[in-house]
Amino acid sequence: MSNIEQNIDNQNLVNNWQQVSKQLTDACNHVGRKSESVVLLAVSKTKPADMIATLAKQGQSHFGENYLQEAIEKITMLKEQPECDGIFWHYIGSIQRNKTRDIAEHFDWVQTVERDIIAKRLNDQRPAEMSPLNVLIQLNIDNEESKSGCLPDQLPELIATIKGYERLQLRGLMIIPAQADTNAFARTKQLFEEIKQRYPELSGWDTLSMGMSGDMTEAIASGSTMVRVGTAIFGERD
């Protein structure tokens, strides 16, 4: 790609990001929330490291990745760049048991914890010199057989276990609802608040990750505190 093409490309990326940021602010204003109450997670899977660096320079600080090998390459590369120093990396892909060490050593957040065996390994493998790993439980809110996530029935037991792990900080819930379920955001918000009441000792319980490119406005209206946006910022993926 020529320098000129690269510049136009970067300008598109920055425009998209500004538009999504504005959509977030508008969605908040519309329901009387402060825009600081919702974190924008830029989902950069399959996209090159220089796009991440471009947005980091604009002030975007949370990035989400799904594919471990690809993510570690980008994280390692961007560590060298001062303007990428403040990035928070979120792992949002499915977690294989033999990959927990790589996740524990490279990420600040993991949003896809659904079983105790995975949580325990992440806790044991989180390096002592790093701060506790921020964890969201992925909830299978629609009880879909094909989908990953902890079933609603099993949630209390999983929370009770994870809150005892010292190297993990349990922050909340993440969902990917079924498309037809128009009321999943509201039900998850309700559950999120019930858990907060029931476990006052969960001091870090503050994050409800729901909403993507196509439904972030609805998610924010229902109380989302983190939207995960890929396509609307970075364009279609191959």
Ligand X SMILES: *Cc1c(COP(=O)(O)O)cnc(C)c1O
User: Which residue ranges make up the site for ligand X (CB under 6 A)?
Assistant: 43, 45, 66, 92, 176, 212-214, 228-232
Q: How many residues does the chain have?
A: 238
Provide CB contacts within 8 A for 165, sequence distance 6+. Answer: 119, 120, 123
Question: Which residue's CB is nearer to ligand X, number 126 or number 228?
Answer: 228
User: What is d(CA 204, CA 178) in angstroms, rounded to the nearest whole number?
Assistant: 28
Question: Which residue's CB is nearer to ligand X, number 45 or number 167?
Answer: 45
Question: Which residue's CB is nearer to ligand X, number 113 or number 232?
Answer: 232
CB of 45 to ligand X, least distance (A): 6
CB of 201 to ligand X, least distance (A): 28
Residue nearest to ligand X (CB): 230
User: What is d(CA 20, CA 229) in angstroms, rounded to the nearest whole number?
Assistant: 8
Joined together, the tokens standing for residue 115 give 């079983």
CB of 115 to ligand X, least distance (A): 17
The total of other beta-carbon atoms located within 10 Å of residue 29's CB is: 11
CB of 231 to ligand X, least distance (A): 3
Question: Which residue's CB is nearer to ligand X, number 131 or number 179?
Answer: 179
CB of 176 to ligand X, least distance (A): 6
Residue 39: strand pairing partners: 226
Provide CB contacts within 8 A for 63, sequence distance 6+. Answer: 41, 42, 43, 44, 52, 55, 87, 88, 89, 90
Question: Which residue's CB is nearer to ligand X, number 159 or number 229?
Answer: 229
